[in-house]
Amino acid sequence: MAFLGGARLLDWASSPRHLQFNRFVLTGYRPVSSGSGCLRSLFYLHNELGNIYTHGIPLLGFLFVLPLTIPWARLSESWLGVVHYLACIFPQLGSVLYHLFMNHEGGPAVYHTLLTLDMCGVCMVNTLGALPIIYCTLACSPLLRSIALLAYTGLSSYGIFCAVTARSSVRRLRAFAWQALFRFFFFYLRWVGLGTGNPASLHSYLIMDGLAFLGGVINISRVPERWKPGCFDYWFNSHQIMHVLVVVSILYLHWGVVADLHWIANYACPKE
């Protein structure tokens, strides 16, 4: 055990069993705590502190800055701005709550509730984040657009179920595969000129999905802590790297969607 700041930290073997999900992180585990004890852990070093702040700080920035960059006054469909804003906020919020309160004295029941909340946040960025992309890609085909939006929403609902019931990180990542394939179909439509939207947005969307995929692979591979167990207990472990990549991925989503929203405000579909 080690004493840092305000709590006696535990090693992997002494930590609660439901927190023993990364055997390459050997030290720095918080003991079981009350809600106020979990909140106090914001102010001393432990192995979840980096996970909390790598999403907590971006969450504060997204909450207050993102609404200022969305062209609300120019949108004829204001829900596009709303779902995009929520898509950027939900994954950060779910992640912060999960990492902050995962050692709550409620035990596995509270932990699994928080994990479900975290997964729902990830699902929301995949679901809500794609709706403006689909809308702008089929801007001039209202019937097909409505069908595609409903189909993607239904597919995403199934993806959410698979993600929250998955028993491993690999299966959680796999739960988002069909959503990714659906999005890439619309990226393809833009690439070959069959879809509409700001030409610059496609580049942002491809980087977005590439970074998100890379983050997921790094997380399930447990690199770099797998190579040197115990050396990355507090900083620069796979989950923190994933968090940073996810934040950058969401920024690319935002840049692409904002460009699309400006584009659709000025675009007139050709008359048949």
Whose CA is closest to 31, among 43, 41, 21, 22?
41
pTM assigned to the model = 0.92
Which residues fall in the annotated binding site? 99, 239, 243
3-class SS shares of the chain: helix, strand, coil, % to 5: 70, 5, 25
Find out whether 269 and 79 touch, Cβ atoms under 8 Å. no
Q: What does the DSSP 8-state code read for residue 18? A: G
pLDDT at 12: 95
Domains with residue ranges and CATH for the chain: 48-265 (1.20.1070)
Q: Which helix (H) or strand (E) holds 3?
A: strand 2-4
pLDDT at 272: 60
Block residue for tokens 């975290």: 118
Mean pLDDT of the chain: 92
Find out whether 237 and 178 touch, Cβ atoms under 8 Å. no
Question: Tens of pLDDT along 120-170?
Answer: 898 889 899 999 999 999 999 999 999 999 999 988 888 778 877 777 767
Is pLDDT of 250 > 70?
Answer: yes
Please count the residues of the chain. 272
What is the distance between the alpha carbons of residues 240 and 249, in angstroms, rounded to a whole number? 14
CA-based end-to-end distance of the chain? 73
What is the distance between the alpha carbons of residues 103 and 97, in angstroms, rounded to a whole number? 11
Q: What does the DSSP 8-state code read for residue 77? A: S
pLDDT at 175: 73
More confident residue, 173 or 177: 177
Phi–psi pair at 3, nearest 5 degrees:
-115, 115
Is pLDDT of 188 > 90?
Answer: yes
Find out whether 218 and 232 touch, Cβ atoms under 8 Å. no
Which residues fall in the annotated binding site for Zn(2+)? 99, 239, 243
Question: Tens of pLDDT along 213-235?
Answer: 999 999 999 999 999 999 999 99
